[in-house]
Structure formats: C-alpha cells, structure tokens
Amino acid sequence: MKHILATPKLVRLKQRKEFLDIAASGKKWVTPGLILQAKKRIDKKIGIGFTVSRKVGNAVARNRAKRRLRVLASEALKNDTLAGYSFVVIGRAETNKRPYSVLRQDFVQALAKVDMISKRKSPDPIERLKQ
C-alpha cells in the first residue's frame, strides 16, 4: 500500500500557521465523524493536514483516529480534481466509533458541502470524487 504522500502533488501541512490560516479563512463543514476545513491554494498541489485533540482519548486512540483519517483521505484524494486546495481533517470522538463506510460518507458529504466536488448523485460516494 502506498503512503498518502507518495504522490508528489500532495503536500503535508505541518506548521501551525498553515492550520490556523485554513481555519480562519477557509470553508468548514462538521459531520458526526470528522470536521473538514478547506481553502484554495495558489499552486496546483493538494495540501493535507490531520489533527485530533486530546478530547478523543489517549495517544493510542488519537493515533488510531489519525490513521483512519489518513486512509480515508488517501482514497478520496487520488484524483487531480481536488488539486489547488488545502484540507485540514479534524478527528472527533466519533471517528473511532463509526464504521468505516459511514465515516467515508461523512468525508464525501463534507467535501460536497464545502463545494469541492460535484453534488451529482452516484451509487458510491467515492465515485463522485472521480467525476
């Protein structure tokens, strides 16, 4: 399995300033499983950052939540239709409790709500990302 950042177009957000900039001036959508923040970038790369607070649990629970979110994002951000945006995915207490398929629907719904993907109906939510 390739790592999410194996594609050169993906840029990992690491600095606190980047997270705060997206939080202050980007779009945000809250679902039961996660919070998605998005902002347009100047370049055509995809920026992605993950954060999970201590409210979720101990280090093991937080790392598990981040792993689930990384896999989810790698699945959704495979294509270039989302190039030119930066995303911050924030894990919530429900991130570890929700089934993966429901969490995936949460992510797709959040992308649609922040106008990152088309809102056309498709049987599989991830298929909408490929359109």
Pick from 9, 88, 74: which is nearest to 43 by CA? 9
Q: Which residue did the predictor score with more confidence, 5 or 102?
A: 102
With a cut of 80, say whether residue 112 has pLDDT above it. Answer: yes
Residue 85 has pLDDT above 50, yes or no: yes
pLDDT in tens, 2-32: 555 555 478 899 999 999 999 999 899 999 9
pLDDT at 119: 47
Query: What string of DSSP letters covers 32-51?
Result: SSEEEEEEE-SSS-EEEEEE
Closest by CA position to 46, among listed 93, 96, 80, 1: 80
Give the E-state strand segments of the chain in sequence order. 10-12, 27-30, 34-40, 46-52, 85-91
The CATH T-level fold of domain 4-130 is: Ribosomal Protein S5; domain 2 (3.30.230)
pTM: 0.79
pLDDT digits (tens, 9 = 90+) for 24-81: 998 999 999 999 999 998 888 889 999 999 999 999 999 999 999 999 988 887 766 7
**pLDDT for position 60:** 96
